[in-house]
Amino acid sequence: MAPRLLPTALSMAAAACTAIVVTAGAVVLPLSSTRAAVMGAPKALPYADAVTRTHDAAEAVLAGAGAESCLRGKLTNALLGLSSSCEATGERNPLCQLADKAAVVTPMSLAFMRDTATQLLALIDAPAVGSPQGAQPQP
């Protein structure tokens, strides 16, 4: 008996879009004009809160305040939250760019986490970069 192939989410979505276009006459927008969202993901934090959470995670990494796996999770979650917040608010500053780049690095070595934490703190403490209108987050 031949193995049965299960449809992937992408092919199912494509089939659903095709069915909608054919049966409902819906307009299909090009992918470049649409935005994806993670289903079930929490709402993006306000930018200042995401910066504060990232600051706390970076300090925890540098202080070695926990097991390496816990610090990795704390930093990864903070980076993802900051990246999401940056996207939601339209921020494109160096802090947001670093969060976007660092959040996708896997696996994160301890040396990478320390280097990233140092860079994050430097950017957060820089005037007018850590949060909008130059307001500094409260540690």
Provide the number of structural domains found in the chain: 1
User: Which pLDDT score is estimated for 47?
Assistant: 95
Residue 80 domain-assigned? Answer: yes
Which pLDDT does position 108 carry in this prediction? 95
Between the CA of residue 49 and those of 29, 43, 53, 95, 128, what are the distances in Å?
Answer: 34, 12, 6, 14, 15
100 belongs to a structural domain: yes
The pLDDT, as a whole number, for residue 128 is: 62
SS3 state of residue 47: helix
What is the reported pLDDT for 40? 61
pTM: 0.65
Does some domain include residue 92? yes
Instruction: Say if 28 falls within a structural domain.
Output: no
Q: Give domain status of residue 103, yes or no.
A: yes
Please report whether residue 11 resides in a domain: no
Can you give the pLDDT at residue 102?
Answer: 96
Write out the residue range of the structural domain in which residue 109 sits.
47-134
> What whole-number distance in Å separates Cα of residue 99 and Cα of residue 86?
9
pLDDT value, residue 94: 96
Q: Is residue 60 part of a domain?
A: yes
Residue 15 in any domain: the answer is no
- Listed as ranges, residues in the chain with pLDDT below 70 are 1-42, 128-139
pLDDT score of 41: 62
Q: Residues near 116 by Cβ (< 8 Å), separated by ≥ 6?
A: 58, 61, 75, 79, 98, 102, 108
